[in-house]
Structure 1
Amino acid sequence: METTLKINPEITITLPEDKIIVDRSGYEQLKRDADYRGLWDVTDLKNRYHRDKEWFKRNVFSPYERELRDRIVMYPHGGKSSYLCKPIPFDDFVQSHFPEISKRAEK
């Protein structure tokens, strides 16, 4: 007859002082917070939505200017600046208007 021995080893891991362990949900929240910090420029939009400035101008910035200007998006002025967006409100806007934006983009 075989005998089974169950061992519960104790493992100690020493972390350097500049390192911490966080749970996955905490890590995901940190990533989200970092992503939504500051303002998004056109490069950030391109990286997030995989569309260029002209696409956003044609399908979002121009048709929805009355809703976006000075609330969610800073529009260029004087030819020297570019679009700047408040991350969370802009992302919410795109998500809530996705069907209309999608139809407009197909034209």
Structure 2
Amino acid sequence: MNKLIVDLENITIALPETKIIIDRSEYDALKEDATRGRYMSLSDVLELLSVSRPWLLENVLYKPEIRRQIDIDQTKDGFVKYPNNQGGRYFFLASKTKDYFEQNFEQIFKL
């Protein structure tokens, strides 16, 4: 037997005022919208990926083949604004940054 059937016909479940039930598709859309149009700092990306600053710089941001894909000055599909000078700030478009690391995990970590 690989099913367990429970009859809940006369059972009421009360949710606390702080909880709601929504469809999975609506939840996913809300989650995605939460990062649309938002920017991340280098510190935010380091926290997201749980890697060190030197590792991220060496293995991602300074690699020419990756930079060509992500730098807004090198491609219209880019999502990273590199600093104009040493000590300047990086800016990352949050939604595309998360997507990029999800889709390219193996490529980045198989170094």
TM-score, scaled relative to structure 2: 0.61
Paired position in structure 2 for 1:75: 82
Report which stretch shifted further, 62-71 or 20-29. 20-29
Over 3 Å counting, the alpha-carbon distance change for 1:97 and 1:11 in structure 2 is closer
Instruction: Could you tell me which runs of 5 or more consecutive residues in structure 1 were left unpaired when the two chains were aligned.
Output: 1-7
Aligned length: 95
2:34 is aligned with 1:21: no
Q: Which runs of 5+ in 2 are unaligned?
A: 1-9, 73-77
Q: Which has the higher helix share?
A: 1
Aligned CA RMSD, in angstroms, stands at 3.1
Q: Distance in 1 between matches of 2:13 and 2:98?
A: 44
From the CA coordinates, give the structure whose radius of gyration is larger.
Answer: 1
Query: Is contact 1:42-1:52 (8 Å) kept?
Result: no
User: Bigger shift: 85-94 or 61-70?
Assistant: 85-94
Residues 1:94 and 2:107 aligned together:
no
Change (3 A) 1:32 1:12: same
Q: Aligned to 1:79, what secondary structure does the other structure show?
A: coil
